[in-house]
């Protein structure tokens, strides 16, 4: 399959017209792409009791959440605010896994009061939880496997120096706390990172988890996080979900037989579900020739899509206003008063001032990581479902920036 064929949004909709209808910059999401990814995952793991918990930190637009809930997914949240948005979108508290880190115990208590599934990744919090709730409220425990995996050091969460999870080498301490407080541990959780290139990492983590799981008699599920790799450019490696599922489900089924009953298998895809579903549409303000390059300066920046600057992430960029133009090299930069680069030396159809560029793979960690640096306003969001585009978040105004300030 040609790389751009993964993005039906490019052909199913007149994106240039959307910028005329809703302005630019503009985030656009394609519902059917989310559905394609969800169904691919659930079909691959259909031989076991799979529960998909969408990692909503990737994209929290409430209309997108409603759509994902309609597909049958649950939710993975990392803050009480995300949980509240999820409930507002129609998720029941029992469908929401609360996986915070570094929060005050008061926030944990709020999550209990809401009725969320609680995931604990800190021995101190585990002790407080046991003293407060005993066996009245079950909890899940997040373990750190000391396995480094992920596409960038910023998104590796399972290595020995990570702040996430309780070390597997502290398991005896964990068990003492659990047993002394008669706690009910209903789940185990592990997440090694994002954009994992080697599928064997999942199998190594599974083997480790299954060894430790036998020490917890009340388990209802095991959550393996996510980290499935999607393509950002032509020839990019991706996680072979079907191959992984074939090996993984066999291991999981064998473990369930040894454990004595069938457990649920949980995954928390974020980027896998929504990354390819989203594009950021930007307008070219200036074309600037220098001694070394040609800059295409656009009406957006790292305040709207921070991944290229924060993670050195590659995002494919297309000139959709002049798709048949002569191919030239451009460095696409933003309007923020910093080094603000979307892509260096990108070959694309000739760029003219006023053209609309589409930045792909913008569905995950795009708008959700946006900010108001330089007092710039955040863009509108549009959802395309069944060929129809609708506004799902209006563009910010200066009144929004001033609304929380004392004037």
Beta strand pairing call for 185-190 and 139-144:
parallel
Cα dihedral: 53, 392, 313, 353 (round 10): 170
> Is the Cβ–Cβ distance between 218 and 14 less than 8 Å?
no
56 is catalytic: no
Alpha carbon distance 96, 215 (integer Å): 25
* CA torsion through residues 172, 132, 82, 372, sign: negative
As a whole number of angstroms, the distance between CA 320 and CA 341 comes to 19
CA distance 342 to 394: 24
Count Cβ neighbours within 10 Å for each residue of 163-196 and write b for 16 or more, e otherwise.
Answer: ebbbebeebeebeebbeebebbbbbbbbbbbbbb
Q: How many residues appear in the chain?
A: 407
β-bridge partners, 196: 228
CB 21 within 8 A of CB 389: yes
Which residues are registered as beta bridge partners of 96? 75
CA 102 – CA 110 distance, rounded (Å): 15
H helices of 57-196, in order, are 62-71, 80-88, 105-114, 123-133, 171-180
Which candidate, 358, 369, 371, places its Cα nearest to that of 154? Answer: 369
User: Cα(348)–Cα(306) distance, rounded to whole angstroms?
Assistant: 22
* Residues linked to residue 332 through DSSP beta bridges, in sequence order: 296, 343
Give which of 312, 316, 310 is closest to 332, Cα–Cα: 316
| CA max distance for the chain | 71
| Catalytically annotated residues | 337
């Amino acid at each position: 399959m040609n790389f751009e064929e993964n993005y039906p949004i490019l052909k199913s909709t007149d994106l240039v017209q959307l910028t005329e209808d809703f302005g630019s910059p503009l985030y656009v999401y394609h519902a059917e792409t989310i559905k394609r990814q969800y169904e691919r995952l659930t079909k691959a793991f259909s031989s076991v009791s799979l529960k998909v918990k969408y990692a909503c930190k990737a994209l929290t637009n409430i209309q997108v959440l409603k759509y994902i809930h309609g597909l049958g997914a649950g939710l993975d949240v990392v803050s009480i605010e995300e949980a509240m948005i999820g409930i507002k979108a129609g998720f029941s508290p029992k469908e929401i896994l609360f996986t915070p880190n570094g929060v005050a115990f008061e926030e944990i208590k709020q999550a209990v009061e809401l009725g969320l599934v609680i995931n604990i990744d800190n021995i101190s919090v585990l002790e407080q939880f046991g003293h407060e709730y005993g066996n009245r409220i079950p909890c899940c425990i997040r373990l750190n496997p000391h396995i480094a995996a992920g596409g960038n050091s910023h998104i590796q969460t399972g290595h020995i120096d990570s702040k996430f999870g309780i070390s597997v080498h502290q398991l005896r301490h964990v068990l003492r706390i659990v047993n002394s407080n008669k706690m009910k541990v209903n789940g185990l959780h592990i997440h090694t990172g994002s954009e994992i290139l080697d599928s064997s990492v999942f199998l190594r983590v599974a083997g480790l988890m299954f060894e430790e799981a036998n020490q917890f008699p009340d388990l209802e599920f095991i959550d393996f996080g996510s980290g499935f790799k999607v393509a950002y450019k032509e020839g990019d490696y991706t996680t072979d979900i079907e191959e992984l599922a074939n090996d993984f489900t066999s291991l999981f089924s064998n473990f369930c037989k040894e454990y004595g009953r069938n457990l649920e298998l949980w995954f928390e895809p974020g980027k896998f579900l929504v990354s390819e579903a989203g594009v950021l549409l930007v307008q070219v303000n200036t074309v600037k020739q220098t001694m070394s390059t040609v800059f295409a300066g656009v009406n957006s920046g790292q305040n709207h899509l921070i991944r290229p600057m924060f993670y050195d992430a590659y995002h494919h960029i297309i000139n959709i206003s002049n798709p048949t133009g002569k191919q030239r090299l451009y460095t696409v930069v933003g309007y923020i008063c910093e080094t603000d680069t979307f892509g260096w030396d990108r070959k694309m159809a000739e760029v003219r001032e006023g053209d609309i560029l589409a930045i792909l793979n913008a569905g995950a960690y795009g708008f959700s990581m946006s900010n108001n640096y330089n007092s710039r306003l955040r863009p509108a969001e549009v959802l395309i479902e069944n060929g129809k585009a609708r506004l799902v978040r209006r563009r910010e105004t200066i009144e929004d920036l001033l609304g929380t300030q004392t004037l």
